[in-house]
A and B are shown apart, each in its own frame.
Chain A
Amino acid sequence: MNNQKPKKSLVRRHDNFGFVFLIPWMIGFTVFFLYPFLRSVLLSVQKVEFLPGGGFSTTFVGIENYITALTRDEKFLPLAAGSVLDLFINVPVCLVFSFFVAVLLRQKFFGNALVKAVFFLPVILGTGVFLSVQTETAAVSGMSLDSAMEEGVASLETLQSMNILNLLQDIGIPASITEYIAGPVEQIYSVISLSGVQIFIFLAGLNSIPPSVYEAAYIEGASGWVAFWKITFPMVSPIIIVNVVYSLIDNFTMSTNETMGYIFDAAFSNFDYGLSNAMAWLYCLVLAIFVGLSVALISKKVVYQS
C-alpha cells in the first residue's frame, strides 16, 4: 500500500492535466451553453418588454406563456403535430433507406469510389442554402419540393406509384396506409437528401466489422442471408441508435421545419421572446421524449461488442 501511494498521485497528476486541454471547451460550455440554457428556462416564464431606450425589462408571469402556446395560439399546436407526424414517416424511411444504401456501397464493384462521392453530394447540398432555395422557389411556384424536379422524372414516378396506389386501394387497403407506402417513393429525392449523413455513419459501422467473423461463418456454411441477420445486423445495432437520434434531431431542427420557422418568427418578427421560448421548450420536450423512448426501446435489442 505504502509503495503505491506516491505512484497513484503521480498518475492522478498526469491525468488531471487533461483539464488544461479542456479549458477552451469548459469556458464555452459555461458561457455559451449553460448560461443561455438556464436563461431560456427563465425567459419562458417571463414577459419581456422592450424599453424605449433599448434593452429589456422582464416580469415574472408564471406558466402563462405555456398556456398561451397551448390554448390561445391557434397555429402552434397544429404545426407541432404536423412535425411530429412527419417524424413517423421520415425517420423510419431514412433509416431503412440509408442502411440499405450503406450495405450496397460497402460491396466491391466498379466505380465504387465515384458512387460514394455521388451519395455524399446531398450532404453538401442538402443543408441550408441549397435546400432553402429549392423549397422557396417550389413554394413560390406552387409546387412541392419534388415536383420542382424535372417534369419527366416526376411524372414517371407519380405515374408508377399512382398505379400501385390504385392496385392497393382496389384490394381494399385503406388510403392512409397506401399513402404511407407511396409517399417515400414520390419523395425519393428528399429521402435521399435527408439520409446523406446517416449513410456514412452506417458505412463506418459496417466497415468496423472484422472480416474474420464473416470468413468463419462462411466456412461453417452460413449463407449470405443468414450472415446478414446473424452478423451484420447485430453488429451495427449500436449504430442504429446513433442514427435514430441523429435523424430525430435533424428532422426536428432543420431550417425547413415549419414549427421551427414559426418559433423563430414569434421571437424575431413578433418580438414575443417569452412565448417563443415557451414554445421552443414544449417542442424540445416532445423531441426529448421521442429520443428517450426510441433509445430505451432500441437499446434493449442492441448487441454490444465486448
Chain B
Amino acid sequence: MMLSQQQRHIVYTAQRKSKEWGWAFVRTIFILGFSFVILYPLFNMLTRAFMEPQDLYDSSVLWLPRHFTLINFEIAGNALHYGQSFLNSLWTSTLATLLQLFSCVTAGYAFARYKFAFRNILFVLVLVTLIVPPQLTMIASYMYFSDMSLLNTQWPMMLMAATGMGIRSGLFIYMFRQFFTSMPKETEEAAMVDGAGHFRIFLQVMLPGALTILVTVALFSFVWQWNDVFFVNLYDRSFQNLSNSINFAGFADYFMTYSEYAGFSQYDPVIQKNFSSTAAIMVVAPLVLLFVVMQRYFVESVERSGVVG
C-alpha cells in the first residue's frame, strides 16, 4: 500500500511522539523512584520524631502521629545542649568558611591569572593535598599542634582554613581556578591601562564577577565544616558543638533519664533510634533551611562551576 507524503508524515510524527512519550514515562518513573528513596526515610524520621513512645510500637500508626508530642525534641535538645552547641557550631563554621574563602580564592586567582615560575608544579601540589587523605597526616599534625600547645582549642582548624589547608580546600582552589581562567583577559587589561594595581583589579574587577562561585564554595565549605566529625574529634575533642555533642558517649541513653520513658527504662533499640534520629534532625535542620533558601542559586552554580578536567 502506498502512502501519500502527508500520511507518511503523520505516521512519522506519531512514531516520534510515542517514542518521546515513552521515554518521558520511563524517566518519570525513575525520577519519582529515586526521589522517593531519598525523601521517604527523611519524611519517616521527621514524623516519628513527633510520636510518643507507644505510637512507635503501634503498627496501625502510619506516618501521622496519633499522640503528637514535642518531648523527643526536648530530650534531644537537652542532650545536645542545643543552644550552646548551636552557637559554637555557628561561629566556628562561619569563621572557618570566611578564612577558607579568603585563602582559596587568592590561591585559585593566582593560578588562573598569573604565569609565575613553577606554576604547574605548585598546582599539582594543590591536587596532591586534595588526594592525600587527612588520616595519613593526622598523627603528625596532632603531635605538631600538641607541641605548640594548641590542642583543645579551635586554633588548628582556623589556622589550616586560613592557609588553604582546611577541609577539601584543594577542591575549592581547583573550582576557583577553573572559574577565573574563563574570565576574559580584556577586562583585566582595561583596568590595568586605567592604572589599577594588582589588588585593585582583584578586589574591584574580578571578585564582584565571581559572586556565584563564591556563594557556592561558601555553602559547600559551611556544610562540610558544620558536619565535620573527624577534625573536631582530632584537635578539640571536648569542644561543645553539634557534631561533637551527638557523638558524645552516653548520648544515646540520655532519654532514659526522662520520666515519660520510665516504662521503657530497659535497653530499647527502637526508642533509642528514634531519639538519635530526632537529634540528627535537629543538627542538620539549619543546613536544610539554608539549602532551601539558597536552593536555586546553589544547584545552578554547582552545575556551572565548570568542573572540567
Contacts and interface: CB of A to CB of B under 8 A. Distances in A.
To the question of whether A and B form a pair in one complex, the answer is yes
Interface of A: 14-22, 24-29, 31-33, 35-37, 39-40, 43, 56, 101, 104, 107, 109, 113, 115-125, 127-130, 132-134, 136-138, 140-142, 148-150, 153, 188-189, 192, 200-201, 203-205, 207-208, 238-239, 241-242, 245, 249, 252-253, 255, 260, 263-264, 267, 273, 276-277, 280-281, 284, 287, 291
A149 B44 contact: yes
Q: Lowest 8 A-B CB distances belong to which pairs? A: A28-B163, A18-B114, A141-B269, A238-B309, A128-B227, A21-B110, A36-B140, A25-B164
B31 interface: yes
B40 A121 contact: no
Interface class of chain B by DSSP? helix
A249 B280 CA distance: 25
A104 B27 CA distance: 7
Contact of B283 (A16, A130, A134, A188): A130
A280 B308 contact: no
14 contacts: A18-B111, A33-B132, A39-B143, A39-B144, A109-B28, A113-B296, A117-B292, A129-B229, A129-B284, A130-B280, A132-B247, A137-B272, A188-B37, A200-B303
A16 B117 contact: yes
Contact of B140 (A40, A238, A255): A40
Contacts of A107: 27
A134 B139 CA distance: 28
A273 B142 CA distance: 10
Interface of B: 24, 27-28, 30-31, 34-35, 37-42, 44, 102-103, 106-107, 109-111, 113-117, 119, 122, 125-126, 129, 131-144, 159-160, 162-165, 173, 198, 202, 223-224, 227-230, 242-243, 246-247, 252, 269-270, 272-273, 276-277, 279-280, 283-284, 287-288, 291-292, 295-296, 298-299, 302-309
Contacts of B295: 113, 117
B44 A121 contact: no
Contacts of B113: 18
Max count, chain A CB within 10 A of own CB: residue among B38, B106, B122, B276:
B38
B308 A281 contact: no
Max count, chain A CB within 10 A of own CB: residue among B198, B272, B309:
B309
Contacts of B140: 35-37, 39-40, 43, 277
Contacts of B132: 33, 37, 284
Contacts of A200: 299, 302-303
Given A19-B116, A24-B106, A129-B246, 6 more contacts: A22-B116, A56-B143, A128-B224, A132-B229, A149-B44, A189-B37
